[in-house]
Amino acid sequence: MDSATVKLNKKSIFKKALQKIHAEKLKVFKYDDLVKYMYCPTDPSSLGVIRFLFGMLMLMDIIEERGGSSIDLRWGNPKDCHFPLFSVFRPLPYQYMTLLYGIMWIGAFGIMVGFKIKLFVILFGLPYWYLLFLDTSYWNNHSYLYGVVTILLLGSSATNFMSVDSLLDKSIKNMSVPYWNYFILKFQFFMLYFLAGLKKTDFEWLEGYSMTNLGSHWVFMPFQSFFTGEQIDFFIVHWFGFILDLTIGFWMLLDKTRPIAMLFCASFHLMNSRLFSIGMFPYVCLATMPLFCKEDWPKKLFLRIFKIDHKLPKHETCNKIKRQYTKKITWKNRFVIALLLSHCSIQTFLPYSHFITKGYNNWTNGLYGYSWDMMVHSWNTILVVVKVVDNNTENEYFIDSHAWTQNDRWNKHADMCLQYAQCLKKNLIQDYLNNNPLSIPANEEPQFITSENISIYIDVWCSMNGRFQQRMYNPNYDLLKANWSPIKPVPWLLPLLSKFNGFRKRLKEISEEVYSWSNQTEVLFIADFPGMYLENFIGQDVTNVSLTILEGEVIFEVEDKKSMQSRGVKLYKGDIISIQVGFFHKIHTTGSNHSCYMYIYTKEQENPSNMFKVQPNMYSPFPVIEDVENHLNALINMFQQILNSILHLLFNRPLNLRKKGI
């Protein structure tokens, strides 16, 4: 054998050795190994307890946040405006909506007791997602979360412990469940915390502008001896909240840090239950914290409480060190894990998908649901003007922004403003046709629209995170002719005036000084765009009204009642002018720059008997428990409405619907 052949054989042997080493390394990352890991048999007890608690909390959520106790107010008026995610979704007639709530409640009850889990998850989940898609103005991060958890329960084996199914079918009682049943729920709640922490890296949160005036609340009593209210807002609410959200999931994954992490996490959720009106969300988070514990914790807790010396059964088919499934895997196992990985990818991508759904972006990105930017943005709205113009007569009419709406969240979203304009047009035209316009005498001016040829404009004045009050939309844009697309920026949206962010500290100082004068003095800060004007009326309920120009140039215009003509005064930065009450006035922003100004005024003396009301049981950390009577009354109200609807459908019994405000 010549030297060339020897060299060739050596190269071939060396190449095969490298390929073998490479194959051994790749073997660690084989997809089937991941499938085996996910299908490791695991104790079912923790999953069973969490399923029970989730179902129980959903029973209460249906009554409260889903509107079960007020179905007639939410869905009883066919003229009410709703804001569906997709236009194909329409509310059913009231009597069928009540039946839908009944089906959803039965589904949640089935989840709680663990009976025919797949059937009852569908009975709960389908109506739940239908209601969620039916009105995006009610969207919350936790509402979206509940819907996702429902989908994840659909494929789980959550009835192998503490369920009716396990009592009826002894073969599944205490049977092991695949580890992925825990993994996917653990992933969902880990991302709940972690993504909320990532969203809090926003400048608004870290600088302490998102949540203010919380430091005086009684839940912060342990800190009030050492910190001022402002320091509590900044260090405890903002920075500690940011660090907790960002890291708590990691601490709860580790055995050594889990006990103290769960103590902090539980305290955090109990505090939130008292600080904010967020329904069952804190309690769902409390109920799902055990996902991060050992899967057999309920059995160990039971044995410890009752001091029973008994060893728990081990799952011999699972290597606990590597969590590897020892049975042969099938295509179905691989497909399930592929679906789970797809779900994880989607849930990671959605909170950052706003560069695609540009039409839903306003001053904040996207709809408030899957974004997890919880409490990062706070709003203060002072004025919403809805103007209808009859183009035939050029008459203008102003509509109460609460007319035919259930809440005021819609006016912060351009897509919902567009939906409201279309709904308003439909209602106005229906009224116009019902009022028989041909019967109006020719010599009388019509009291409302005279045709379908109308335009609708909206002017929303609000402040985000302590900034100036400013317009959100172009008030001269006809929404009935709006060109809106879910993937294009909103053309009538005005920009947030971030150039004045530096004023926020000064605004706070001015406010503190004004409030120190008396309990009745108030201040209002306004910023406006060049070429636009604010029209305002000062009522008789305030006195000592003054206008101070902080930036820019304006013309202050007021109507002279004697001459019935308007007169204008040019004002510059630093100028102060008194304003007479009982008159309309306009403030025109002139020149090429934005204007900033403030009103200072004194309110009428408040009735002392209405001040300093203390809520009963305000120091209880469990409002769910203290409100048992209210929950029971709400449940009774819901079932009464369901029963009345059934009697109406069967025997044509009249429906008694409440009206808003009654």
Q: Which of 585, 605, 625 is the last residue of a domain?
A: 605
Q: Which two tokens stand for residue 344?
A: 């994880």
CB 374 within 8 A of CB 238: no
pLDDT-derived band at 250 (thresholds 50, 70, 90) equals very high
Q: How far apart are CA 30 and CA 334, in angstroms?
A: 12
* Residue 355 belongs to some domain of the structure: no
451-466 per-position pLDDT tens digit: 889 999 999 999 999 9
The confidence score (pLDDT) of residue 60 equals 94
Distance between CA atoms of residues 75 and 86, nearest Å: 18
The verdict on residue 189 lying in a domain is: no
CA distance 54 to 145: 12
Residue 318 has a pLDDT of 55
Q: Is the domain of 555 the same as that of 649?
A: no
Residue 477 and residue 492 in contact, taking contact as beta carbons nearer than 8 Å: yes
The stretch 431-439 carries a mean pLDDT of 67
CA nearest 96: which of 642, 636, 637? Answer: 642
Residue 360 lies in a domain: no
Q: Do 79 and 155 sit in the same domain of this protein?
A: yes
Q: How many CA atoms lie within 13 A of 405 on its CB side?
A: 23
Q: Are 42 and 176 in contact (CB under 8 A)?
A: yes
Task: List the beta bridge partners of residue 473.
Answer: 493
Q: In the structure encoding, which two tokens stand for residue 241, read together?
A: 């909240």
H, E, C per residue of 207-233: CCCCCCCCCCCHHHHHHHCCCCHHHHH
Output the pLDDT for position 394: 87
Residue 610 has pLDDT above 60, yes or no: no
Return d(Cα 20, Cα 340) in angstroms, integer. Answer: 31
On the question of pLDDT at 419 being above 80, the answer is yes
d(CA 548, CA 543): 16
- Asked if residue 166 is part of any domain, the answer here is yes
> Any idea how long the chain is?
662
The pLDDT-based confidence of 441 (bands split at 50, 70, 90) is low
Is residue 551 within 8 Å of 565, Cβ to Cβ? Answer: no
Domain of residue 22: give its range. 3-33
Plot region of 89 (φ>0 → left; ψ -120 to 50 → alpha; else → beta)? beta
Average pLDDT over residues 356-374: 90
Instruction: Examine the domain organization and report whether 51 and 171 are in the same domain.
Output: yes
* Distance, CA of 120 to CA of 127 (rounded, Å): 11
- 597 with 623: CB under 8 angstroms? no
Least confident of 6-20, 138-152, 226-240, 243-257: 6-20
* pLDDT the model gives residue 615: 37
Are residues 423 and 385 both part of a single domain? yes
pLDDT in the model for residue 551 = 95
Same domain, 573 and 651: no
pLDDT score for 335:
95
Domain check: are 618 and 600 in the same one?
no
526 and 490 both lie in a single domain: no
pLDDT of residue 405: 93
Q: Please tell me whether residue 402 adopts helix, strand or coil conformation.
A: coil
Alpha helices in 162-296 (DSSP H): 164-168, 180-199, 203-206, 221-224, 229-231, 241-253, 258-275, 281-288
Verify that 387 and 467 share a domain, yes or no. Answer: yes
Letter string b/e over residues 426-448, b meaning 16 or more CB atoms within 10 A of that residue's CB: ebbeeebeeeeeeeeeeeeebee
Annotated catalytic residues are 200
- Tell me whether residue 389 is in a domain: yes
Q: Give the residue-averaged pLDDT of 376-402.
A: 91
Q: Which of the 8 DSSP states describes residue 414?
A: H
pLDDT of residue 321: 44
CB 611 within 8 A of CB 549: no
Q: Is residue 424 packed enough to be buried (19+ CB in 10 Å), middle (13-18) or exposed (0-12)?
A: buried
The reply to whether 428 and 542 lie within a common domain is no
pLDDT of residue 607: 45
The residue with tokens 């739940």 is: 128
E strand or H helix at 319:
strand 318-319
Tell me if 348 is assigned to some domain. no
Same domain, 468 and 525: no
Looking up residue 544, the CATH number of its domain turns out to be: 2.60.120.10
Backbone angles phi, psi at 655, to 5 degrees: -90, 130
Query: pLDDT digits over 85-117, tens only?
Result: 998 999 999 999 999 999 999 999 999 999 999
Instruction: Summarize pLDDT for 397-418 with one digit per residue, the tens.
Output: 999 999 899 899 999 999 999 9
Distance, C-alpha 488 to centroid of its chain: 23
Question: What pLDDT is stored for residue 616 in this prediction?
Answer: 39
Q: What is the pLDDT of residues 514-536, one digit of tens each?
A: 999 988 999 999 999 999 999 88
Q: Determine the Cα–Cα distance for residues 290 and 297; give it in Å rounded to an integer.
A: 8
Of 21-35, 62-76, 323-337, 434-448, which range is least confident? 434-448
Assess if residue 207 is contained within a domain: no
pLDDT at 608 over 70: no
Instruction: Please report, in angstroms and rounded to a whole number, the separation of the first and last CA atoms in the chain.
Output: 104
Rounded distance, CA 573 to CA 434, Å? 53
Give residue 324's pLDDT.
Answer: 59
CB within 8 Å of 198: residues ≥ 6 apart = 246
**What mean pLDDT is predicted for residues 629-634?**
85
Residues 54 and 140 in one domain: yes
Residue 317: per-residue pLDDT: 45
- Asked if residue 43 has pLDDT above 80, the reply is yes
Query: How confident is the model at residue 5, as a pLDDT?
Result: 53
Q: What digits encode the pLDDT tens for the residues 283-309? A: 999 999 999 999 999 998 888 887 666
Whether residue 590 is found in the same domain as residue 621: no
Last residue of a domain, one of 605, 636, 652: 605
Supply the mean pLDDT for the chain.
87
Does 591 or 188 have the greater pLDDT score?
Answer: 188
Number of domains present in the structure of the chain = 4
Assess if residue 192 is contained within a domain.
no
- Kindly report the pTM of this predicted structure: 0.88
